A and B are shown apart, each in its own frame.
Chain A
Amino acid sequence: MSRTLISAGLALAAITAPGTAQSLTGAGATFPNPIYGKWFDEYAKKTGVKINYQSIGSGGGIRQFTEGTVDFGATDGPMTPDQMNAVQGKVLHIPAVMGADVLTYNLAAVGTAQLKFDGPAIADIFLGKITKWNDRRIAGLNPGVKLPDQDIIVVHRSDGSGTTYIWTDYLSKVSPEWKEKVGNAQSVNWPVGLGGKGNEGVTQTVKQTDGALGYVELIYAISNKLAYAHVKNGAGNIIAPSLASVTAAAASAKFPANTDFRVSITNAPGADSYPIASFTWLLVSPDSKDPAKAKALKTFLEWMVTDEAQQMAAVLHYAPLPKPVVALVKERLKTLKAAGKPIA
């Protein structure tokens, strides 16, 4: 009985070994989890390849990828130089989709007026240097809106998150003081403000507190119909956050020829770019040990950047990758190897 089982198993192994693996495992970022879930589900229906993904957070994704316990990792913030060293630089960041942060606010005195901000003003609000709504720097950006003499209540995320990574990445770029005093990470030492747990925690606090402002994911703000600010971009234009303006930011980003895609697209150049946006990445090994799994993963990644898959992202309010980035990703996928040989 057991012998037949073993021989059957051996036969099965012999059949599948040189071909494509039927299942893959991945772990990491929670922010893109809805679209990953959708993709893996659709992909399993199309090809029968099952991809198990655990949304344990970017930090966990990087750790598990480094330890080799998963076939791919996923992260909202690119790996740091230290983390790259831990895998001897043997990692490729493949952008999957893009996300963006918006500044949501609740100020009864201005009614439904659309407020506008610029980067330095936002940074100084979050540094605690601008404390009143009628500060002349906010007023200067919002001519015609009568701003009250009221305290600004800052709300930020208390849990480590990719949303915070994007936000602090942006603030570090537009404010040298922020960069020096606070810096950029999934969780930081906030100079002022209340911490809300998750997007819903931040949103509820802002909604219930007159004079509050905070940042949430674009997707969350759209689906919950929050009031959110327009932001002045690097080119000096006031831009409304939307999928199109986020995709524009990625399209205007400069990629070196042999880029590993660890590119920040906050404060991107370009007239129509929304400045607080970022890629979210899948982490794959450029030369993996298991040819069958490498092949399966490569095939999935090729499908992921097709129009079909990227349009599924748009439906879920993730900004699809712009065409030039898709072309670069396709080029890069051709260089993937398994056991030292190119993947057929």
Chain B
Amino acid sequence: MTVPTAPSASTPAAALQGAAAGDRIFRALLTLAALAIPVLLGFLVYELVQGSELAIQRYGFRFLTTSTWDPVTDEFGALPLIFGTLLSSFLALLIAVPLSLGVAIFITEFAPSAIRRPIAFIVELLAAIPSVVYGLWGIFVLIPFLRTTVFTFLKGTFGFLPFFQGPVYGQSMLAAGIILAIMVMPYIMSVTREVLAVVPASQREAAMALGATRWEAAWTAVVPYARSGIVGAVILGLGRALGETMAVTMLIGNRHEIAASLFAPGYTMAAAIANEFSEASTDMHLAALSYVALVLFGVTVIVNALARVLIWRVSKGRQSGGAGL
């Protein structure tokens, strides 16, 4: 038997070397792909800072604390926008979190298996509706409905609170919060459902063995186990609410003003950018809008960082497992 002399590729060592080269290429490609994201992010921030330079030089941090927005005299302050963004998202979570938690617990713990899938499917379908459709539906259906029912009820019953005073126009902070709640609900619900579904059955069985009812088992054994995952789901919803533009601008009334009443119109950062960017003709107006975008970016980063800390705390302060979620 003759030993093949020439092609080194056929020797085991060389084959390994070839594979190593392939590995290296693959590794390089993946590294490149992974690096693309931070580079893109860096570029985005650079562009935003570049674009808003004029406004940053003129206003500095005063931009964040003043309320005048006057494109004619080039006087800009973003406080009402920041306030509106945070408040509308907060309202959205206030409504959406209990609702989605309830739906998720119902689907995973209580619903007969025949209706689990249909309900989950329908809720997730809500996520696929374009936001402009939500906006139009909001103007044509939701606002007339809210004005004659929910808003009049709130005003009549809780009218002594400053949040429910003043004229009811329809377009308002509250209407925006409600449409946002409907829009973020599918995200929170669907992630929460996944998280609850992977809670080990032993957790439930143990609670029931101790004499807990199904509800007690769900609330004291299953939900706490999935806590950090649920917080993550809420953060996902919050991120979506902070950045939502089209539906909000159609329902919020678009007024650069901070009002205590939830019936009063407001404005958000994303809505202002979408509304004014295309027709902004002066350089300062454009720079101010870029600055708003930069602030929105900053707010998103801060909120996400806080959320990370929250998840970390929640998962650390717990004795039982499930930290991986």
Which residues in B have their C-beta under 8 angstroms from that of A190?
Answer: 255
A16 close to B (CB within 8 Å): no
From A53-61, A89-97, A218-226, A239-247, give the one contacting chain B: A53-61
**A60, A153, A185: which has the most chain B beta carbons within 10 Å?**
A185
Question: Scoring A residues 307 to 333 as 1 if CB is less than 8 Å from chain B, else 0, what string do you get?
Answer: 000000000000000000000000000
Which residues in B have their C-beta under 8 angstroms from that of A62?
Answer: 281
Residue from A162, A183, A205, A208 within 8 A of B72 (CB atoms): A183
Asked whether, in the complex, the Cβ of A158 is within 8 Å of the Cβ of B70, the reply is no
Question: Scoring A residues 177 to 200 as 1 if CB is less than 8 Å from chain B, else 0, what string do you get?
Answer: 000001111111110011111001
Which residues in A have their C-beta under 8 angstroms from that of B171?
Answer: 194, 196, 205
Asked whether, in the complex, the Cβ of A159 is within 8 Å of the Cβ of B144, the reply is no
Asked whether, in the complex, the Cβ of B278 is within 8 Å of the Cβ of A57, the reply is yes
Residue from A189, A197, A205 within 8 A of B70 (CB atoms): A189
Which residues in B have their C-beta under 8 angstroms from that of A200?
Answer: 139
Which residues in A have their C-beta under 8 angstroms from that of B280?
Answer: 59, 160, 186-187
Which residues in B have their C-beta under 8 angstroms from that of A186?
Answer: 71, 279-281
Restricting to B46-80, which residues have a CB under 8 Å from any CB of A? Answer: 68-73, 75
Q: How many residues of B contact A (CB 8 A)?
A: 36
A172 (CB) vs chain B CBs: closest residue: B72
SS class, residues of chain B in contact with chain A: loop
Restricting to A125-182, which residues have a CB under 8 Å from any CB of B? Answer: 151, 153, 158-162, 182
B171 (CB) vs chain A CBs: closest residue: A194
Asked whether, in the complex, the Cβ of A151 is within 8 Å of the Cβ of B278, the reply is no
A209-B170 contact in complex given A60-B278, A160-B278, A189-B68, C-beta closer than 8 Å: yes
A275 close to B (CB within 8 Å): no
A32 close to B (CB within 8 Å): no
Restricting to A32-59, which residues have a CB under 8 Å from any CB of B? Answer: 56-59
Roughly how many angstroms separate A162 CA and B279 CA in the complex, as a whole number? 8
Asked whether, in the complex, the Cβ of B279 is within 8 Å of the Cβ of A161, the reply is yes
Asked whether, in the complex, the Cβ of B72 is within 8 Å of the Cβ of A185, the reply is yes
A120 close to B (CB within 8 Å): no
Which residues in A have their C-beta under 8 angstroms from that of B290?
Answer: none
B265 close to A (CB within 8 Å): yes
B93 close to A (CB within 8 Å): no
How far apart are A165's CB and chain B's nearest CB, in angstroms? 8
Restricting to A64-92, which residues have a CB under 8 Å from any CB of B? Answer: 77, 80, 82-83
**When A and B form their complex, what is the total count of cross-chain residue pairs whose Cβ atoms lie within 8 Å?**
104
Asked whether, in the complex, the Cβ of B72 is within 8 Å of the Cβ of A59, the reply is no
Restricting to B158-173, which residues have a CB under 8 Å from any CB of A? Answer: 167, 169-171
Restricting to B263-300, which residues have a CB under 8 Å from any CB of A? Answer: 265, 267, 271, 274-282, 286
Restricting to B241-257, which residues have a CB under 8 Å from any CB of A? Answer: 249-250, 253-256
Which residues in A have their C-beta under 8 angstroms from that of B265?
Answer: 194-195
Which residues in A have their C-beta under 8 angstroms from that of B167?
Answer: 151, 153
B189 close to A (CB within 8 Å): no
Asked whether, in the complex, the Cβ of A58 is within 8 Å of the Cβ of B279, the reply is yes
Known: A186-B280, A189-B68; 16 extra A-B contacts, CB below 8 A, are A57-B278, A57-B279, A158-B271, A158-B275, A160-B278, A160-B280, A183-B72, A187-B275, A189-B75, A194-B254, A194-B255, A195-B275, A197-B254, A201-B139, A205-B169, A208-B144
B interface, CB within 8 angstroms of A = 68-73, 75, 135, 139-140, 143-144, 147, 167, 169-171, 249-250, 253-256, 265, 267, 271, 274-282, 286
17 A–B contacts from the bound complex (CB under 8 Å): A59-B278, A80-B281, A158-B254, A159-B274, A160-B275, A186-B281, A187-B71, A189-B73, A194-B171, A194-B253, A195-B253, A197-B135, A197-B254, A200-B139, A205-B169, A208-B170, A209-B170
